[in-house]
Amino acid sequence: MMNPIRMVDLVTQYGNIQEEIDAAVLGVMKSAAFINGPEVTAFQQNLEKYLGVKHVIPCANGTDALQVSMMALELKPGDEVITTSFTFIATAEVIALLGLTPVVVDVDPDTFNIDPNAIRRAITPKTKAIVPVHLFGQCADMEEIQKIADEFGLFVIEDACQSIGADYIFKDGSRKKSGTISNIGCTSFFPSKNLGCFGDGGAIFTNDDSLAEACRSIANHGMVVRYYHDRVGVNSRLDSIQAAILRVKLKYLDNYISNRQNAARAYNEAFADFPQLQTPQESAFSTHVFHQYTLLTTGFDRNKLQEYLAVKDVPSMIYYPVPMHLQKAYTDPRYKDGDFPITESLSKSVISLPMHTELSPDQIDHITQSVIAFIKSNF
Protein backbone atom coordinates (compact mmCIF):
# COMPACT_ATOMS: atom_id res chain seq x y z
CA MET A 1 0.00 0.00 0.00
CA MET A 2 1.13 3.51 -0.83
CA ASN A 3 1.99 5.77 2.12
CA PRO A 4 -0.30 8.78 2.47
CA ILE A 5 1.02 11.73 0.43
CA ARG A 6 2.02 14.82 2.39
CA MET A 7 3.34 18.19 1.19
CA VAL A 8 6.39 17.46 3.36
CA ASP A 9 6.91 14.03 4.93
CA LEU A 10 8.93 14.66 8.08
CA VAL A 11 7.56 11.52 9.73
CA THR A 12 9.13 9.18 7.17
CA GLN A 13 12.31 11.28 7.03
CA TYR A 14 12.74 11.01 10.82
CA GLY A 15 12.10 7.27 10.71
CA ASN A 16 15.00 6.83 8.31
CA ILE A 17 17.55 8.52 10.62
CA GLN A 18 15.86 7.95 13.96
CA GLU A 19 18.72 6.22 15.78
CA GLU A 20 21.19 8.99 15.03
CA ILE A 21 18.75 11.78 15.89
CA ASP A 22 17.62 10.15 19.13
CA ALA A 23 21.24 9.65 20.25
CA ALA A 24 22.08 13.29 19.44
CA VAL A 25 19.10 14.63 21.39
CA LEU A 26 19.75 12.31 24.37
CA GLY A 27 23.36 13.49 24.41
CA VAL A 28 22.28 17.10 24.88
CA MET A 29 19.80 16.14 27.60
CA LYS A 30 22.48 14.23 29.52
CA SER A 31 24.95 17.11 29.20
CA ALA A 32 22.32 19.71 30.17
CA ALA A 33 24.22 22.20 27.97
CA PHE A 34 20.95 23.48 26.52
CA ILE A 35 22.04 26.95 25.45
CA ASN A 36 25.26 27.71 23.56
CA GLY A 37 26.62 24.25 24.28
CA PRO A 38 29.29 22.43 22.29
CA GLU A 39 26.65 21.14 19.84
CA VAL A 40 25.92 24.70 18.70
CA THR A 41 29.60 25.39 18.06
CA ALA A 42 30.08 22.06 16.27
CA PHE A 43 27.07 22.62 14.01
CA GLN A 44 28.16 26.18 13.29
CA GLN A 45 31.61 24.98 12.24
CA ASN A 46 30.25 22.14 10.11
CA LEU A 47 27.90 24.53 8.33
CA GLU A 48 30.72 27.06 7.74
CA LYS A 49 32.69 24.26 6.10
CA TYR A 50 29.74 23.05 4.01
CA LEU A 51 28.94 26.56 2.76
CA GLY A 52 32.53 27.70 2.36
CA VAL A 53 31.79 30.83 4.39
CA LYS A 54 33.87 32.42 7.13
CA HIS A 55 31.11 33.00 9.68
CA VAL A 56 27.84 31.27 10.52
CA ILE A 57 25.92 32.97 13.33
CA PRO A 58 23.14 30.68 14.56
CA CYS A 59 19.95 32.37 15.79
CA ALA A 60 16.37 31.57 16.74
CA ASN A 61 14.67 31.58 13.31
CA GLY A 62 14.93 32.92 9.78
CA THR A 63 12.90 36.03 10.53
CA ASP A 64 15.33 36.95 13.31
CA ALA A 65 18.25 36.27 10.96
CA LEU A 66 16.86 38.94 8.62
CA GLN A 67 16.18 41.37 11.47
CA VAL A 68 19.57 40.94 13.14
CA SER A 69 21.29 41.37 9.75
CA MET A 70 19.49 44.64 9.09
CA MET A 71 20.34 45.85 12.61
CA ALA A 72 23.99 44.91 12.10
CA LEU A 73 24.11 46.91 8.87
CA GLU A 74 22.86 49.87 10.95
CA LEU A 75 19.96 50.61 8.64
CA LYS A 76 17.96 53.53 10.04
CA PRO A 77 14.27 54.51 10.00
CA GLY A 78 13.44 56.08 6.66
CA ASP A 79 16.03 54.05 4.76
CA GLU A 80 14.52 52.29 1.77
CA VAL A 81 15.03 48.57 1.31
CA ILE A 82 14.15 47.03 -2.04
CA THR A 83 12.68 43.54 -2.09
CA THR A 84 10.17 41.39 -3.95
CA SER A 85 6.43 41.34 -3.40
CA PHE A 86 6.32 37.63 -4.28
CA THR A 87 7.70 36.10 -1.09
CA PHE A 88 6.85 34.89 2.39
CA ILE A 89 5.89 37.93 4.47
CA ALA A 90 8.85 37.69 6.90
CA THR A 91 11.09 39.46 4.40
CA ALA A 92 8.99 42.62 4.38
CA GLU A 93 7.90 42.24 7.99
CA VAL A 94 11.33 42.88 9.50
CA ILE A 95 11.89 45.86 7.19
CA ALA A 96 8.65 47.37 8.47
CA LEU A 97 9.34 46.43 12.12
CA LEU A 98 12.65 48.29 12.07
CA GLY A 99 10.93 51.40 10.73
CA LEU A 100 12.64 51.03 7.36
CA THR A 101 10.63 51.55 4.20
CA PRO A 102 9.97 48.41 2.16
CA VAL A 103 10.08 49.18 -1.56
CA VAL A 104 8.75 46.25 -3.56
CA VAL A 105 9.40 45.46 -7.19
CA ASP A 106 8.20 42.88 -9.69
CA VAL A 107 9.74 39.51 -10.50
CA ASP A 108 11.01 37.57 -13.47
CA PRO A 109 8.06 35.65 -15.00
CA ASP A 110 10.07 32.44 -15.50
CA THR A 111 12.03 32.03 -12.25
CA PHE A 112 9.67 34.10 -10.03
CA ASN A 113 12.79 35.78 -8.56
CA ILE A 114 13.34 39.53 -8.20
CA ASP A 115 13.95 41.31 -11.51
CA PRO A 116 17.28 43.24 -11.51
CA ASN A 117 15.95 45.78 -14.03
CA ALA A 118 13.03 46.53 -11.73
CA ILE A 119 15.48 47.00 -8.83
CA ARG A 120 17.42 49.55 -10.87
CA ARG A 121 14.26 51.53 -11.61
CA ALA A 122 13.25 51.61 -7.92
CA ILE A 123 16.48 53.12 -6.59
CA THR A 124 16.22 56.57 -4.97
CA PRO A 125 18.68 58.60 -2.86
CA LYS A 126 17.14 56.92 0.22
CA THR A 127 17.81 53.36 -0.97
CA LYS A 128 20.24 51.56 1.35
CA ALA A 129 19.83 47.85 0.73
CA ILE A 130 18.47 45.14 -1.55
CA VAL A 131 16.98 41.91 -0.22
CA PRO A 132 16.77 39.30 -2.98
CA VAL A 133 14.86 36.15 -2.01
CA HIS A 134 16.08 32.89 -3.57
CA LEU A 135 12.51 31.72 -4.02
CA PHE A 136 11.53 28.04 -4.05
CA GLY A 137 15.19 26.95 -3.98
CA GLN A 138 16.82 28.76 -6.88
CA CYS A 139 19.14 31.79 -6.67
CA ALA A 140 18.15 35.23 -7.89
CA ASP A 141 20.36 36.86 -10.53
CA MET A 142 23.07 37.77 -8.00
CA GLU A 143 25.82 38.84 -10.36
CA GLU A 144 23.52 41.47 -11.86
CA ILE A 145 22.16 42.47 -8.44
CA GLN A 146 25.66 42.84 -7.00
CA LYS A 147 26.63 45.02 -9.97
CA ILE A 148 23.73 47.37 -9.20
CA ALA A 149 24.60 47.34 -5.48
CA ASP A 150 28.23 48.23 -6.22
CA GLU A 151 27.22 50.99 -8.59
CA PHE A 152 24.92 52.66 -6.01
CA GLY A 153 26.78 51.67 -2.80
CA LEU A 154 23.98 49.45 -1.45
CA PHE A 155 24.09 46.48 0.92
CA VAL A 156 22.77 43.14 -0.28
CA ILE A 157 21.08 40.81 2.20
CA GLU A 158 20.23 37.42 0.70
CA ASP A 159 17.09 35.73 1.96
CA ALA A 160 18.28 32.15 1.53
CA CYS A 161 15.59 30.64 3.75
CA GLN A 162 14.37 28.41 0.90
CA SER A 163 17.65 27.78 -0.90
CA ILE A 164 20.22 26.31 1.46
CA GLY A 165 22.68 24.21 -0.52
CA ALA A 166 21.89 25.80 -3.90
CA ASP A 167 24.94 26.87 -5.94
CA TYR A 168 25.18 30.22 -7.66
CA ILE A 169 27.20 29.80 -10.87
CA PHE A 170 29.17 32.90 -11.91
CA LYS A 171 29.83 33.75 -15.57
CA ASP A 172 33.44 32.61 -15.13
CA GLY A 173 32.18 29.19 -13.99
CA SER A 174 33.06 29.61 -10.31
CA ARG A 175 30.42 28.76 -7.71
CA LYS A 176 29.27 29.99 -4.33
CA LYS A 177 26.58 28.60 -2.05
CA SER A 178 23.41 30.64 -1.84
CA GLY A 179 23.49 33.01 1.13
CA THR A 180 27.27 33.49 0.91
CA ILE A 181 27.39 35.61 -2.24
CA SER A 182 26.79 39.11 -0.90
CA ASN A 183 27.35 41.09 2.34
CA ILE A 184 25.16 38.86 4.42
CA GLY A 185 22.83 35.87 4.00
CA CYS A 186 19.99 34.51 6.10
CA THR A 187 18.46 31.09 6.41
CA SER A 188 15.75 29.30 8.34
CA PHE A 189 15.75 25.84 9.89
CA PHE A 190 11.94 25.75 10.20
CA PRO A 191 11.01 22.04 10.09
CA SER A 192 9.72 22.08 6.51
CA LYS A 193 12.74 23.94 5.08
CA ASN A 194 15.36 21.97 3.15
CA LEU A 195 17.54 21.75 6.27
CA GLY A 196 14.93 21.72 9.01
CA CYS A 197 15.20 21.17 12.75
CA PHE A 198 12.51 19.96 15.15
CA GLY A 199 11.30 23.41 16.11
CA ASP A 200 12.50 26.89 15.20
CA GLY A 201 16.01 27.81 14.14
CA GLY A 202 17.92 30.08 11.80
CA ALA A 203 21.35 31.39 10.88
CA ILE A 204 23.20 34.32 9.38
CA PHE A 205 26.16 33.89 6.99
CA THR A 206 28.89 36.40 6.24
CA ASN A 207 32.53 36.64 5.23
CA ASP A 208 32.86 40.03 6.93
CA ASP A 209 34.51 39.82 10.39
CA SER A 210 33.06 43.01 11.81
CA LEU A 211 29.53 42.27 10.53
CA ALA A 212 29.80 38.79 12.09
CA GLU A 213 30.81 40.30 15.42
CA ALA A 214 27.93 42.79 15.25
CA CYS A 215 25.42 40.00 14.48
CA ARG A 216 26.72 37.82 17.33
CA SER A 217 26.44 40.68 19.74
CA ILE A 218 22.98 41.83 18.57
CA ALA A 219 21.60 38.28 18.78
CA ASN A 220 22.87 38.20 22.39
CA HIS A 221 21.29 41.35 23.89
CA GLY A 222 23.92 43.64 22.39
CA MET A 223 26.65 42.19 24.63
CA VAL A 224 30.28 41.63 23.83
CA VAL A 225 31.55 41.41 27.41
CA ARG A 226 28.99 39.77 29.70
CA TYR A 227 26.55 42.28 31.24
CA TYR A 228 28.05 45.20 29.31
CA HIS A 229 25.60 46.20 26.60
CA ASP A 230 27.13 48.27 23.81
CA ARG A 231 24.01 48.41 21.66
CA VAL A 232 20.35 47.48 21.79
CA GLY A 233 20.05 43.83 20.86
CA VAL A 234 17.59 40.97 20.93
CA ASN A 235 17.52 37.47 22.40
CA SER A 236 17.86 35.15 19.45
CA ARG A 237 19.54 31.79 19.97
CA LEU A 238 19.60 28.39 18.36
CA ASP A 239 19.23 25.92 21.21
CA SER A 240 21.56 22.95 21.59
CA ILE A 241 18.94 20.26 20.94
CA GLN A 242 18.10 21.85 17.59
CA ALA A 243 21.81 22.22 16.77
CA ALA A 244 22.40 18.54 17.55
CA ILE A 245 19.56 17.53 15.22
CA LEU A 246 20.82 19.87 12.50
CA ARG A 247 24.34 18.50 12.80
CA VAL A 248 22.99 15.05 11.95
CA LYS A 249 20.76 16.30 9.14
CA LEU A 250 23.49 18.45 7.54
CA LYS A 251 25.32 15.21 6.67
CA TYR A 252 22.31 14.21 4.58
CA LEU A 253 21.62 17.60 3.00
CA ASP A 254 23.22 16.83 -0.36
CA ASN A 255 21.33 13.52 -0.48
CA TYR A 256 18.12 15.28 0.40
CA ILE A 257 18.72 17.81 -2.36
CA SER A 258 19.27 15.12 -4.96
CA ASN A 259 16.09 13.31 -3.85
CA ARG A 260 14.18 16.55 -4.41
CA GLN A 261 15.84 17.08 -7.79
CA ASN A 262 14.94 13.53 -8.84
CA ALA A 263 11.31 14.06 -7.87
CA ALA A 264 11.29 17.35 -9.80
CA ARG A 265 12.71 15.61 -12.87
CA ALA A 266 9.98 12.97 -12.73
CA TYR A 267 7.33 15.69 -12.47
CA ASN A 268 8.89 17.63 -15.37
CA GLU A 269 8.88 14.57 -17.60
CA ALA A 270 5.29 13.71 -16.79
CA PHE A 271 4.07 17.25 -17.53
CA ALA A 272 6.24 17.96 -20.58
CA ASP A 273 3.45 17.47 -23.13
CA PHE A 274 0.91 19.73 -21.44
CA PRO A 275 1.15 23.38 -22.50
CA GLN A 276 -1.33 24.29 -19.75
CA LEU A 277 1.40 23.53 -17.19
CA GLN A 278 4.66 25.44 -17.16
CA THR A 279 7.15 23.41 -15.15
CA PRO A 280 9.81 25.22 -13.06
CA GLN A 281 12.23 27.12 -15.31
CA GLU A 282 15.84 26.63 -14.24
CA SER A 283 18.21 29.53 -14.82
CA ALA A 284 21.75 29.03 -16.14
CA PHE A 285 23.27 30.78 -13.12
CA SER A 286 21.85 28.62 -10.34
CA THR A 287 21.23 25.05 -9.33
CA HIS A 288 17.71 24.42 -8.05
CA VAL A 289 17.22 22.67 -4.70
CA PHE A 290 13.42 22.52 -5.07
CA HIS A 291 12.23 23.76 -1.72
CA GLN A 292 8.97 23.90 -3.65
CA TYR A 293 7.90 22.40 -6.96
CA THR A 294 5.66 25.09 -8.37
CA LEU A 295 3.66 24.87 -11.59
CA LEU A 296 2.50 27.93 -13.46
CA THR A 297 -0.93 27.14 -14.93
CA THR A 298 -2.55 28.71 -17.98
CA GLY A 299 -6.04 28.47 -19.40
CA PHE A 300 -7.84 27.03 -16.37
CA ASP A 301 -8.70 27.79 -12.76
CA ARG A 302 -5.92 26.42 -10.58
CA ASN A 303 -8.29 26.38 -7.59
CA LYS A 304 -10.37 23.76 -9.45
CA LEU A 305 -7.21 21.69 -9.88
CA GLN A 306 -6.50 22.03 -6.18
CA GLU A 307 -10.03 20.84 -5.31
CA TYR A 308 -9.71 17.91 -7.72
CA LEU A 309 -6.36 16.88 -6.23
CA ALA A 310 -7.74 17.04 -2.70
CA VAL A 311 -10.38 14.44 -3.65
CA LYS A 312 -7.54 12.20 -4.89
CA ASP A 313 -5.72 12.63 -1.54
CA VAL A 314 -3.03 14.74 -3.19
CA PRO A 315 -2.25 17.80 -1.07
CA SER A 316 -1.17 21.02 -2.79
CA MET A 317 -0.48 24.57 -1.70
CA ILE A 318 -0.61 28.08 -3.12
CA TYR A 319 2.66 29.92 -2.48
CA TYR A 320 1.68 32.78 -2.35
CA PRO A 321 -1.98 33.72 -2.85
CA VAL A 322 -1.62 37.43 -1.95
CA PRO A 323 1.46 39.51 -2.84
CA MET A 324 2.99 41.59 -0.06
CA HIS A 325 1.81 44.93 -1.49
CA LEU A 326 -1.83 43.76 -1.39
CA GLN A 327 -1.72 42.44 2.20
CA LYS A 328 -3.93 44.30 4.65
CA ALA A 329 -1.13 44.99 7.12
CA TYR A 330 1.08 46.44 4.40
CA THR A 331 -1.47 48.67 2.72
CA ASP A 332 0.45 51.66 1.43
CA PRO A 333 -0.75 54.60 -0.65
CA ARG A 334 2.29 54.09 -2.87
CA TYR A 335 0.94 50.76 -4.09
CA LYS A 336 -2.28 49.53 -5.63
CA ASP A 337 -3.70 46.52 -7.40
CA GLY A 338 -2.13 46.36 -10.87
CA ASP A 339 1.27 47.85 -9.95
CA PHE A 340 3.16 44.57 -10.23
CA PRO A 341 1.44 42.62 -13.00
CA ILE A 342 3.76 39.61 -13.05
CA THR A 343 3.62 39.05 -9.30
CA GLU A 344 -0.15 39.54 -9.27
CA SER A 345 -0.68 37.14 -12.14
CA LEU A 346 1.59 34.52 -10.53
CA SER A 347 -0.33 34.72 -7.27
CA LYS A 348 -3.47 33.80 -9.20
CA SER A 349 -2.02 30.98 -11.28
CA VAL A 350 0.70 29.08 -9.40
CA ILE A 351 0.23 25.81 -7.55
CA SER A 352 2.84 23.83 -5.61
CA LEU A 353 2.80 20.03 -5.54
CA PRO A 354 4.12 17.78 -2.76
CA MET A 355 7.91 18.06 -2.65
CA HIS A 356 10.14 16.39 -0.09
CA THR A 357 12.99 13.99 0.42
CA GLU A 358 10.96 10.81 0.73
CA LEU A 359 8.60 10.87 -2.27
CA SER A 360 8.33 7.35 -3.70
CA PRO A 361 7.86 6.47 -7.39
CA ASP A 362 4.29 5.23 -6.75
CA GLN A 363 3.43 8.47 -4.97
CA ILE A 364 4.87 10.54 -7.82
CA ASP A 365 2.87 8.44 -10.31
CA HIS A 366 -0.33 9.00 -8.38
CA ILE A 367 0.30 12.75 -8.17
CA THR A 368 1.20 13.22 -11.84
CA GLN A 369 -1.62 10.99 -13.07
CA SER A 370 -4.11 12.92 -10.97
CA VAL A 371 -2.92 16.26 -12.38
CA ILE A 372 -2.98 14.91 -15.93
CA ALA A 373 -6.46 13.42 -15.50
CA PHE A 374 -7.73 16.86 -14.47
CA ILE A 375 -6.10 18.54 -17.47
CA LYS A 376 -7.47 15.94 -19.88
CA SER A 377 -10.99 16.25 -18.51
CA ASN A 378 -10.86 20.03 -19.06
CA PHE A 379 -9.33 20.30 -22.52
Backbone angles phi, psi at 354, to 5 degrees: -55, 135
For residues 254 and 334, what is the distance between their CA atoms, to the nearest angstrom?
43
Map the footprint of ligand PLP across residues 337-366, applying CB under 6 A. Answer: none
Shortest reach from residue 297's CB to ligand PLP, in Å: 22
> Dihedral through CA 335, CA 339, CA 345, CA 348, nearest 10?
20
DSSP 329: G
CA angle, 304 then 308 then 311, to 5°? 145
Span near ligand PLP by CB under 6 A; candidates 46-54, 85-93, 326-334, 368-376:
85-93
189 versus 335: smaller Cβ distance to ligand PLP: 189
Choice between 155 and 319, CB closer to ligand PLP? 319
- In angstroms, what is the minimal distance from the CB of 258 to ligand PLP? 21
- Amino acid letter for position 12: T
| 3-class DSSP state of 120 | helix
What amino acid is encoded at 216 in this protein? Answer: R
* Pairing state between β 155-159 and 127-131: parallel
User: Hey, which residues between 157 and 176 contact ligand PLP (CB under 6 A)?
Assistant: 159, 161-162
Among 24, 40, 130, 133, binds ligand PLP (CB under 6 A): 133
Q: Where are the alpha helices (DSSP H) in 179-301?
A: 209-218, 240-271
* Residue closer to ligand PLP (CB basis): 86 or 308: 86
Residue nearest to ligand PLP (CB): 62
Exactly one of 37, 137, 165, 202 binds ligand PLP (CB under 6 A); which one? Answer: 202
Among 84, 85, 87, 194, binds ligand PLP (CB under 6 A): 87
Q: Is 22 helix (H, G, I), strand (E, B) or coil?
A: helix
CB of 91 to ligand PLP, least distance (A): 5
Among positions 19-78, residues that touch ligand PLP (CB under 6 A) are 61-63
CB nearer to ligand PLP: give 73 or 135.
135
State the burial class of residue 314 (Cβ atoms within 10 Å of its Cβ: 0-12, 13-18, 19+): buried
Q: Which of 90, 246, 351, 375 binds ligand PLP (CB under 6 A)?
A: 90
- The least distance separating ligand PLP from the CB of residue 189, rounded to whole angstroms, comes to 7
Q: Give the nearest distance from C-beta 141 to ligand PLP in angstroms.
A: 17
Q: Which is nearer to ligand PLP, 103 or 270 (CB)?
A: 103
> Are 324 and 330 within 8 A, CB to CB?
yes
d(C-alpha 243, C-alpha 189), whole Å: 10
Contacts 24+ apart (CB under 8 A), 174-179: 176/52, 177/50, 177/51, 177/52, 177/53, 178/134, 178/139, 178/286, 179/51, 179/53, 179/134, 179/205
Instruction: In angstroms, give the least distance from the CB of 307 to ligand PLP.
Output: 26
Task: Choose one: 72-80, 83-91, 239-247, 332-340; the region binding ligand PLP (CB under 6 A).
Answer: 83-91
The correct pick among 86, 155, 168, 190 for binding ligand PLP (CB under 6 A) is 190
| Least spacing, CB of residue 133 vs ligand PLP, in Å | 5
The alpha carbon dihedral of 61, 87, 50, 21 has a sign of positive
> In angstroms, what is the minimal distance from the CB of 367 to ligand PLP?
23
CA end-to-end span of the chain: 32
**Residue 239 forms beta bridges with which residues?**
35
Our finding on whether 188 is near ligand PLP (CB under 6 A) is: yes
Residue 63 or 127 having the CB closest to ligand PLP: 63
Which residues sit at the interface with ligand PLP, rule CB under 6 A? Answer: 61-63, 87-88, 90-91, 133, 159, 161-162, 188, 190, 200, 202
